[in-house]
Amino acid sequence: MNYITGFTDEQMAGQRLMIGFDGTELNRDLKYYIGTLKVGGIILFSGNIRDVPQLKNLCRSAQSYAGDCGQPPLFIAIDQEGGQVARLKEPFTVFRGNPFMTAKADARYFAEITATVLNQVGINMNMAPVLDIAPKEINSIMAGRSFGHDPGHVSLLGTEVIMGLQQNGILSVAKHFPGIGRTTVDSHHDMPSLDVTPEDLETSDLLPFQAAIACDVAGIMLSHIHYPGFDQKWPASLSPAIARKLLRRRLGFDGLVITDDLDMGAIKKHYSIHSAVRQILKADIDIALICHKSPDIPAAFEEILQQTGKSELMADRGEKAVKRILRAKERLEC
């Protein structure tokens, strides 16, 4: 269905938001986000999940409400990497995590079982796999979540996860571009700076993402790391140099580009939601991710609405972003 024909400005703005919420059912807040702010997606955390019947009902009722509001299907996303980061615990299938995968068969098995579980409850997007490379010689922040230190191995297992998820109806979002494995500071708390040359990243960290693009990954999540070798001012998640010039133009990625959570300290301690959103729009990033209920969600909606109405250039960029979003949603209908 071609939803973009006849979309209101509010719908165009809302599609570019993915939000978290409190509660385990279709409550007043979630109805407001879907019906009034017209959000394009929601992301689930452990606090939204009790058991299989409840989760299935939550996803089904959210999608039904979006349809009743004249909205396209929602992205319903989750971080289900296995191991350290897995929102679905018992009684759902539990895996030990990426560091314990050693062969293609391990990665494909994880992806296929995970896709089966997500499909059963109505989740259609997994914020996985992690494609960060964790060097052996440092205490990498990603050591417990990475496939390892070798770019070839990370690429091999990462693409198996992508293909296993997507061939079974789950959109895969690879993360955290252009690579955070060389950092030791947690961006949940503050913004790390990684002063490496473009050549360093090209021969190592970027390789798994290039492999992901080659196997048609649906989305790529940007890190909140500052890479002064690429952009002296902005972290990757707000950087036109990284999102537009490197990822879109140079690597040729025309899928979904998503920020990491804008509630994280790396962003929250340094930028207002208004300045962050303005940068996101300038950088040709499709979706702003805000994972917790706060006034930042309606503020981000209003900022997107205002900025995309300012000029033909911004309106054109906004239309291209929404077309990419809807193209990804069409994959879910196939």
Decide which of 3.40.50.300, 1.10.10.410, 3.20.20.300, 3.30.1330.90 is the CATH code for 18-333. Answer: 3.20.20.300
Q: Choose the catalytic residue: 149, 153, 188, 292.
A: 188
Q: Choose the catalytic residue: 260, 261, 284, 286.
A: 260
Mean pLDDT of 105-120: 97
Mean pLDDT of 258-273: 95
Mean pLDDT of 179-197: 84
Residue 5 predicted with pLDDT over 80:
no
Q: Which two tokens stand for residue 332?
A: 């879910």
Residue 9 predicted with pLDDT over 60:
yes
Q: Does 224 qualify as catalytic in the annotation? A: no
The string of pLDDT tens digits covering residues 303-322 is: 999 999 999 999 999 999 99
Which residues neighbour 192 within 8 Å (Cβ) at sequence distance 6 or greater? 141, 180, 183, 184, 185, 186, 225, 226, 266
Q: Does 132 qualify as catalytic in the annotation? A: no
pLDDT band at 252; cut points 50, 70, 90: very high
- C-alpha to C-alpha distance for 216 and 131, rounded to whole angstroms: 15
pLDDT at position 144 is 94
Residue 2 predicted with pLDDT over 50:
no
Cβ pair 321, 328 in contact under 8 A: no
Mean pLDDT of 321-333: 94
Cβ pair 49, 87 in contact under 8 A: yes
Mean pLDDT of 200-213: 96
pLDDT at position 3 is 62
Mean residue pLDDT across the chain: 95
Neighbours of 104 (CB within 10 A): 14
pLDDT at position 283 is 97
pLDDT band at 198; cut points 50, 70, 90: confident
What is the value of pTM for the model shown? 0.96
pLDDT at position 91 is 84
**Residues forming a β-bridge with 141:** none
Distances 304 to 38, 78, 143, 244 between C-alpha atoms, Å: 12, 24, 36, 18
- C-alpha to C-alpha distance for 131 and 122, rounded to whole angstroms: 25
pLDDT at position 127 is 98
Residue 1 predicted with pLDDT over 70:
no
pLDDT band at 4; cut points 50, 70, 90: low
The string of pLDDT tens digits covering residues 220-229 is: 999 999 999 9
- C-alpha to C-alpha distance for 232 and 169, rounded to whole angstroms: 39
pLDDT at position 150 is 97
Residue type, 100: F
Local structure of 77: helix, strand or coil: strand
% the chain with pLDDT above 90: 88
pLDDT band at 158; cut points 50, 70, 90: very high
